[in-house]
Chains A and B, each alone.
Chain A
């Protein structure tokens, strides 16, 4: 199918874009990378009266350092996660994760902020935002407000973003230096949406050989990315070894709410979530060992 008719605007400034959106309360859609919106238009699942293309707003194309971490503007592409040295240095998890975000042919157009605003619960970036305590900047005519990621994602494709606001920036703070991270997912084809995915973070006290901190965020298993705190707590104080990963994997199933659909049953998704929990924690521990070997602290 083809997109329905709409009025098209491609403003050069954020102010203009916000004015157009504000004048069409609820009837306007923001077009950035378009890798989610265009399919919805082609299938006529979305029928906005007005499309506001923000691609020509140069001021939103940036990835820049913050005191700790990076700030990413609305027009920064997903490929930049693999290309920017700043990401490699400060947020290597994002660089690693880009491999899972669709395909190179999609990452060339798809934006980081666009994926967050679209809020597909099976997508990687919302889970990464939750895992790394990112903050999202929503800008409207009255100014900008900063939203923590754990209150930004509300439900399937639903965020705290208002119809007259644009997600102008996401801020990823640098994660604690003693934490190692991994991301894993199972999908039908590499680059497709995850049937189940996980972002895991792990910190270990080397002397006591005990887990001191853990982060477990699942995607594709509920209406938003799901942080399972019970599973994180099950790890704290434990020896970083298989028994602890098993325990976390068992508990993880209690915090997620996977659906049955044409691709996978609920039971299958729960089993995959448990398996990925163990694999992700093993991978994170492996990275911690590399980290310690390279800094000579263990």
Chain B
């Protein structure tokens, strides 16, 4: 039994260890304990996708997971996309070039969803892209530009 636990995770290639309350969600752990505030907290019930990160290579909602459940896992957040020198990832460049972000709140979730999608399905067609993006909400309703951004990113990743 425990109300708090020590959690060890590797996030964007860096090892972290911290003691957290069992009830703490993974997204709050990332933001408050590890200082990785790129991942946003949106609806807190799994609908909006703003908190989407990668856990062991698969996208998950970090707002409906407990930090203690990530013990031993390898995580990737939006901070892990750009090069250490600050050079943007082709997905980020494509979102910039196609105006795939407006207020930017939902953007980290969209980027991480796009990252898994294009890692596993580099030739994803429009239907497939739409199915994956349907798990993320943009309240500025910039969906067309986001769709174009993902298509451009797919092309760039296939032809680096």
A20-57, CB < 8 A from B: 31, 34-35, 38-39, 41-43, 50-51, 53, 55
Interface centre among A41, A99, A105 (most CB of B within 10 A): A105
State how many angstroms separate the Cβ of B62 from the closest Cβ of chain A.
Answer: 10
State how many angstroms separate the Cβ of A82 from the closest Cβ of chain B.
Answer: 11
Whether A8 contacts B65 by the Cβ 8 Å rule is no
- CB contacts (< 8 Å) of A55 on chain B: these are 69
Q: Which one of A4, A42, A105, A190 lies within 8 Å of B25 (CB-CB)?
A: A42
- CB contacts (< 8 Å) of A10 on chain B: these are 68-69
State how many angstroms separate the Cβ of A289 from the closest Cβ of chain B.
Answer: 24
Interface centre among A31, A34, A99 (most CB of B within 10 A): A34
What CA separation (Å) do A9 and B90 show in the bound complex? 42
Answer whether residue A163 sits at the interface, using C-beta atoms and an 8 A cutoff.
Answer: no
Whether B44 contacts A105 by the Cβ 8 Å rule is no
- CB contacts (< 8 Å) of A38 on chain B: these are 25, 45-46, 63-66
Q: C-beta contact mask, B11-48 vs A, less than 8 Å → 1, else 0?
A: 00000000001111100100000000000000011110
- CB contacts (< 8 Å) of B46 on chain A: these are 35, 38-39, 106
User: Which chain A residues have a beta carbon within 8 Å of chain B's beta carbons?
Assistant: 1-10, 31, 34-35, 38-39, 41-43, 50-51, 53, 55, 79, 99, 102-106, 108-109, 189-192
User: Which chain B residues have a beta carbon within 8 Å of chain A's beta carbons?
Assistant: 1-3, 5, 21-25, 28, 44-47, 49, 52, 55, 58-61, 63-66, 68-69, 113, 116-117, 130-132, 134-136
- What 9 new A-B contacts, CB under 8 Å, besides A7-B22, A8-B22, A35-B64? A2-B25, A8-B2, A35-B61, A39-B45, A42-B64, A79-B58, A104-B131, A108-B59, A109-B60
